[in-house]
Structure 1
Amino acid sequence: MSVQVKICGINHPDAAAAALAGGARFVGLVFFERSPRHVAPPLAAELARMIPTGVRTVGLFVDPDNEYLEHVVSQVPLDLIQLHGDESPARVAEIKAAFSMPVMKAIKVSSVEDLAAAEAYAQVADRLLFDAKPPAKVTALPGGNGIPFDWTILTGRTWAKPWMLSGGLTVANVAEAISISGAASIDVSSGVEDRPGHKDPDLIRDFLRAASH
């Protein structure tokens, strides 16, 4: 079974080109101003136009209100909304209904107990994403912190919806992460950067190659 890869935080055409050339199946655009990967809608629209049919364009949002979502989706052709904040299951369902678009909900994980939240979200979201819980400091971002969690807590588990593994994945550990967790889809952001917010096309290519072996 081939693993599907999402390259998240694309904010430059060179990074998008490398992701597509390497076989990425999802390309993530970050609409969260505190993130070094944040991309404004006009540039995001240009990047989205590079994405061919068959590769899904994902918009990452953190606790967005409907006004901001409308501001983005009216300009950027997205295939999937990723919610990476503290959105409740009810809010996930509300966004999905309001925008008639599939939604992926991030579940922040540091221990097996954190997986309990996945059941309620699986009832309303189209996909789940398991990401490392951010460190307890004011400057920490909701994701993209380069921190893995214990992948063994996912071993053998199934949910009602497709799920994706994220959090601290790199060229060096992605094959092990896939093997241990059993993930059919994975997500990487900081692990293919040479500095915060700057994707390295060579690292993207190497990561995609490592994930496919």
Structure 2
Amino acid sequence: MANPLIKICGLSTPESIASAAAAGASHVGLVHYAPSPRHVEIAQAAQLRRAVPPGVKAVLLVVNMAPDALAQAVAAIRPDVVQFHGQESPQECAAFRAASGLEVWKAKGIKTPADLAEAQAYAGALDRLLYDAPAGKLPGGQGIALDWSLLAGYRHRIPWGLAGGLNADNVAEAIRQTKAPLVDTSSGVESAPGIKDVDRIKAFCQAARAIQS
């Protein structure tokens, strides 16, 4: 299998963006969600977006954001991708995708085969479905892995990626089991909540790229 795409999420400094890009990340994520320890305000996110080098896509992560506020955020930040991480419906995702012309992702917590089947309702509404661990108090960034065996051999109806509890120690095995075309990490490359670690970013990208076709 080909090397997967790699998203490093929850970045909050130009240095961490540069580190992720240098390590080989294809996507960097900016979280605009106040309860998260990785939250960045719109002005800060716009500054960080300007630090993203060519060839790397900037992903704006939002949670149940009102349409008008989202439109203002997108206009200011100018992301390549918007990732919905709340209870946004397939219809809401499709409407935003059509109106914005942007690449749209949706994260879905997966615990059972029924959850996986239900997530396929987003086919046609998204550019990518991101399978994550079920949400706790906060959506994402909790370091909790989902059951990879749910995805082994599954026939996905939509391009997808794997998130939830991935780090340098387990990402290669996760890719082997699931054949994930994209892997996403946040807390797995941190030294403390919201604080990215350069060495952990590098180690994660190396581990994710260690599996050859």
Sequence identity of aligned pairs in percent?
A: 45
Aligned partners of 2:64 and 2:86 also within 8 Å? yes
The aligned residue for residue 161 of structure 1 is: 158
- Give the deviation of 1:132 after TM superposition: 0.3
Q: In structure 2, what is the Cα distance between the partners aligned to 1:17 and 1:53?
A: 11
**One-letter amino acid matched to 1:149:** L
TM-score, with structure 2 as normaliser? 0.95
Distance in 1, matches of 2:69 and 2:200, equals: 32
1:45 deviates by: 1.4
Shift of residue 42, structure 1, vs aligned partner: 1.5
Write the mapping of 1:1-213 to structure 2, written as runs, cut at 5 A: 1-135=2-136, 140-213=137-210
Gaps of 5+ in 2: none
Contact 2:7 2:29 in 1 (8 A): yes
Shift of 1:120: 1.0
Query: 1:89-134 CA distances to partner (integer Å, 9 max, x unpaired)?
Result: 1111121122221210111111221101222101211111000002
2: distance between equivalents of 1:207 and 1:159? Answer: 25
Name the amino acid aligned to 1:51.
V
SS at match of 1:183: coil
Assess if the C-alpha contact under 8 Å between 1:163 and 1:183 holds in 2: yes
Q: After the TM superposition, which of the residue ranges 26-35 and 110-119 deviates more from structure 2?
A: 110-119
Secondary structure, counterpart of 1:20 in structure 2: helix
Helix, strand or coil at the partner of 2:176: helix
Query: Post-superposition shift, 1:168?
Result: 0.3
Whole-angstrom CA distance in 2 between matches of 1:89 and 1:109: 16
Compare 68-77 and 189-198 and name the one that shifted more.
68-77
Give me the whole-angstrom Cα distance separating, in 1, the residues matched to 2:24 and 2:47: 20
SS in structure 2 at match of 1:186: strand
Determine if contact 2:94/2:124 at 8 Å carries over to the other structure.
Answer: no
| Counterpart AA for 2:65 | P
- Distance in 2 (alpha carbons) for counterparts of 1:102 and 1:117: 22
Count residues with an aligned counterpart. Answer: 209
SS in structure 1 of the partner of residue 76 of structure 2: coil
Q: Which moved more, 1:89-98 or 1:78-87?
A: 89-98
CA distance in 1 between counterparts of 2:193 and 2:69 reads 25
